[in-house]
Amino acid sequence: MKAIIQKDLRENLKVALIGLAIFSFILLQGYQTSTTELGALLAGGMPEDGGSLQPLISPNLLSEAAFFCAVFGAALGFLQTLNEANRDLWAFLIHRPVTRAEIFQGKVTAGMCLYGFGAGLPLLVFVAVVRWPGHIAAPFEWKMVLPLVSIFLSGLGFYFAGLLTGLRRARWYVSRGFGLGLAVFTSVGIFNLTEFWQTLLLTTVVVLILAAAVWGAYQSGGFYHGQPLTGRLAAATAVTAGCGCVLGAGAGLLAGLVFNPLSDHTSAYSYYQMTREGVIYKETYSDNELVAIEDLNGHPLLDPKTGQNMDRVEFNKHVSPSLAVYSRFKYGDQIRGNAQNPGRFFSIVNVRDKTIWYLDRHGELTSYDGRTRKYSGRLAPPGDSSRLLSEPFLFQPNEVPFYYPYADSSWKMMATARAVYRVDFKARDIQPIFNVTNDDEIGAFSSAPFVSDERAPKTFFLTTRKTICLGDATRRSIFSLPYQPGYNDYPRIQFGSIYTTNNTPITTESFYVWFEPDNQMNKLSDWKMPIHILWLGPDQTVTNRTDIPSIPTPDYHAWPDALAAALAPPPAHLVYDNQISSPWSVLCFALAGVSAVIGWLLARRYNFSTGACLGWTLFIFVTGIAGLLGFLCVQDWPAREPCPNCRKLRTVDRENCEHCASPFPPPARTGTEIFEPLVKQS
């Protein structure tokens, strides 16, 4: 095995060197982007995304790294087998006194070393550089390395898929590459799953399946027939995944190019709006075109100037500015995000005197000197002497992903779970301006609601488990309402100001508060949970209240969604039943059933054993049409020819006719045969 490892290392070193050079360039570009972004930020500009400052979690760099690892892994695997694609060289490799499993191990060991050299080494150096103080002016924690580690590991799936592509001897030439489909799932998973262990599990499963398929292919010289059961199962799974990818891409193209242009769009939806006068209207749209603006009694809103139905532009002038927050508690458990979301680690909250202030996912306010790119201290709320650590600030990654330098000031209001603070970045000072009671907790906070008067103190809006409050930086409570109904059923709270028609507020303290039910719960209750609306007068008392019916979210599915639902494996409908409309689910099960029947008939026709017939039928039913295509692609279908005895078609790979059990006839004699028993030479 050592000799094979050495041979393959030497044979493919140039591929790894090319990979090393390309990946180093990509990572260097990511580092350069970080430097450029930092410069722009310090100059008062707006960064493209906060994540680029820390290149480890830059979405662009992660996408490029994922693309590179996929291509490099696949190319390395494919080229490693391409060297021996010539059948005589393959024979030279295989015909030696070692098992094929040892040859597989030798080649894979060499391949993985080369992959580690080409992709892993630049990554290690990159992480070391980023980790070293003075290079990146952004928070670092080891968890930030995990997306890149996931991407690196996903390349191993592509490596094995590349090997499989080079090895498979398929009837349909294109289907040789179908193993890549399974590897694609890991890439999709990296950018959609939220936890590292999930991507690790997915990658491990995919790599194991593809490795088993490659191992099986080595046993049989690339053919399906002759592989051990494990290899056959793995090959069938890999090829079926590839068929699924091709099917999905085909369905998407078909829907996009044929069905969508021909179909009649019915993307109608409605929602409520509050005007500055405090009146509720319902806007209805179809294909993003305004169809109607009606009051709650169904009367259309007329433009007083024209006497005609009011148009969208005009109506928007009447709409009250509003702000919505989503009440959630236990932030730490809810702060999740996929690799595409750098904001799950930190957000930029302020840039002052060449110092960048970050709020990290642990609720810590840390600063980095933009000139030295080194850590320059932290700010924390005044600690309770009984606690070792100060209360963390609430980190809302998905709600405040971007930093807006033009709206920045030297101080901000920030909240922990128990208090709101005035954080002065220039003076590096924190002062409390609002506290909740000991048995309460802040569930949503917004420090920059719309401002009705630029000269008025800055306001904040928050919800706790018990109350909904609007306050300002002078510690004044503008209003406080009981959170009724509760945050479990009604987590989304919207509020806004009410104005007069001449753009002057009736009073800056006239508001409305809107309680919106949880969408999932409302759907489960058949949209029977109403929206509660309160109007608050100048003395902060409730002057009016009403309940309006919820507007169901339409179950609109575009053609690609519908086709995807129909072609998806049936178990997906059991898992995601609430996201897939039922008619397409029925079609999916019907198609899977038909596919399974076709599979059964084919298996019977080609005289599979009863176990194989049942196994394939079940496999196809579970995996749907993709399973049937996988079945067709993966098998080495033998020829069929008429039996001279019974005249029925029989497969040529059996010793006897499956219909009449007669053996194959010997070759017809011509009378010119010359045979003589052979004996050992003396």
Partner 1 sequence: MNDTSVIQTRGLTKYFGRQPAVYELNLEVPRGCVFAFLGRNGSGKTTTIRMLMGLAQPTRGTGTIFGCNIEALTPEIRARIGYLTEEHQLYGWMNVTESGAFQAEFFPRWNDRIFRGIAGHFGLKPTAKVKDLSRGERAGLCLALTLAPEPELLMLDDPGLGLDPVARRSLVESMIFLTRKSDRTIFFSSHHLSDVERVADYIAVLDRSVLRACCPLEKFQESVQQVRMQFSGAPPVLPKIPGLLQAVRTENELRVTCAHYNGQTESILRSLSPLTMETVPLGLEEAFISYLGERGEKTFILSELEAQP
Compute the least distance from the CB of residue 217 to partner 1, in Å: 13
Q: Is 275 in the site for partner 1 (CB under 8 A)?
A: no
In angstroms, the Cα distances linking 191 to 132, 182, 564, 579, 599 are 27, 15, 20, 20, 34
Cα-Cα-Cα-Cα torsion 618, 623, 625, 631, nearest 10 degrees, comes to -60
Residue 661 tokens read as 């059990």
Stretch that binds partner 1, among 54-62, 390-398, 547-555, 665-673 (CB under 8 A): 665-673
Q: Is 556 in the site for partner 1 (CB under 8 A)?
A: no
Stretch that binds partner 1, among 4-12, 287-295, 323-331, 642-650 (CB under 8 A): 4-12
Residue 212 tokens read as 């088993």
> Interface residues for partner 1 in 562-601 (CB under 8 A)?
none
The 3-state DSSP class for residue 106 equals helix
The 3-state DSSP class for residue 410 equals coil
* Residue position matching structure tokens 């409390």: 432
Query: How buried is residue 172: exposed, middle or buried, by Cβ count under 10 Å (0-12/13-18/19+)?
Result: exposed
| x/- map, 73-102, partner 1, by CB under 8 A | ----------x--xxxxxxx-xxxxxx---
Q: Is 304 in the site for partner 1 (CB under 8 A)?
A: no
Q: Is 671 in the site for partner 1 (CB under 8 A)?
A: yes
* Residue position matching structure tokens 């004996």: 679
Which is nearer to partner 1, 53 or 214 (by Cβ)? 214
The 3-state DSSP class for residue 380 equals coil
Q: Is 480 in the site for partner 1 (CB under 8 A)?
A: no
Compute the least distance from the CB of residue 76 to partner 1, in Å: 17
C-alpha closest to that of 268 among 298, 248, 253, 289: 289
Residue 16 tokens read as 């790894």
Which is nearer to partner 1, 431 or 645 (by Cβ)? 645
Using an 8 Å Cβ cutoff, are 536 and 512 in contact? yes
Compute the least distance from the CB of residue 613 to partner 1, in Å: 21
Residue 59 tokens read as 């979405």
The 3-state DSSP class for residue 178 equals helix
Compute the least distance from the CB of residue 85 to partner 1, in Å: 11
Q: Is 389 in the site for partner 1 (CB under 8 A)?
A: no
Neighbouring C-alpha atoms within 13 Å toward the C-beta of 20: 17
Residue 647 tokens read as 């005249």
Q: Is 352 in the site for partner 1 (CB under 8 A)?
A: no
Compute the least distance from the CB of residue 621 to partner 1, in Å: 30
In the list 221, 337, 530, 593, the residue contacting partner 1 (rule: CB under 8 A) is: 221
Residue 435 tokens read as 């506290």
C-alpha closest to that of 635 among 266, 226, 262: 226
In the list 7, 131, 328, 475, the residue contacting partner 1 (rule: CB under 8 A) is: 7
Q: Is 605 in the site for partner 1 (CB under 8 A)?
A: no
Which is nearer to partner 1, 80 or 367 (by Cβ)? 80
| x/- map, 625-654, partner 1, by CB under 8 A | -------------xx-x----------xxx
The single-letter code of the amino acid at 551 is I
> Interface residues for partner 1 in 444-463 (CB under 8 A)?
none
Interface with partner 1 (CB under 8 A), residue total 45
| x/- map, 41-80, partner 1, by CB under 8 A | ----------------------------------------
Q: Is 609 in the site for partner 1 (CB under 8 A)?
A: no
Which is nearer to partner 1, 478 or 649 (by Cβ)? 649
Q: Is 173 in the site for partner 1 (CB under 8 A)?
A: no
* Helix ranges, 43-120 (H): 59-82, 87-94, 100-115
Which is nearer to partner 1, 452 or 651 (by Cβ)? 651
Q: How many whole angstroms from its chain centre is CA 623?
A: 22
The single-letter code of the amino acid at 271 is Y
Which is nearer to partner 1, 46 or 661 (by Cβ)? 661
In the list 175, 220, 522, 585, the residue contacting partner 1 (rule: CB under 8 A) is: 220
Q: What is the DSSP string of 553-604?
A: PP----HHHHHHHHHS-HHHHHHSGGGS-HHHHHHHHHHHHHHHHHHHHHHH
CA-CA distance, 262 to 529, in Å (whole number)?
A: 37
Which is nearer to partner 1, 313 or 668 (by Cβ)? 668
Residue 75 tokens read as 């190319």
Compute the least distance from the CB of residue 13 to partner 1, in Å: 10
Q: Which helix (H) or strand (E) holds 493?
A: strand 492-497
Q: Is 262 in the site for partner 1 (CB under 8 A)?
A: no
Which is nearer to partner 1, 100 or 475 (by Cβ)? 100
Using an 8 Å Cβ cutoff, are 476 and 435 in contact? no
Q: Is 679 in the site for partner 1 (CB under 8 A)?
A: yes
Q: Is 223 in the site for partner 1 (CB under 8 A)?
A: yes
Q: Is 11 in the site for partner 1 (CB under 8 A)?
A: yes
Compute the least distance from the CB of residue 108 to partner 1, in Å: 18
CA-CA distance, 154 to 398, in Å (whole number)?
A: 26
Q: Is 678 in the site for partner 1 (CB under 8 A)?
A: yes
- Other CB atoms within 10 Å distance of the CB of residue 183: 31
Backbone angles phi, psi at 664, to 5 degrees: -70, 140
Q: Is 482 in the site for partner 1 (CB under 8 A)?
A: no
Using an 8 Å Cβ cutoff, are 155 and 115 in contact? yes
Residues that bind partner 1 (CB under 8 A): 2-3, 7, 10-11, 83, 86-92, 94-99, 220-221, 223, 225-226, 638-639, 641, 652-655, 664, 666-667, 670-676, 678-681
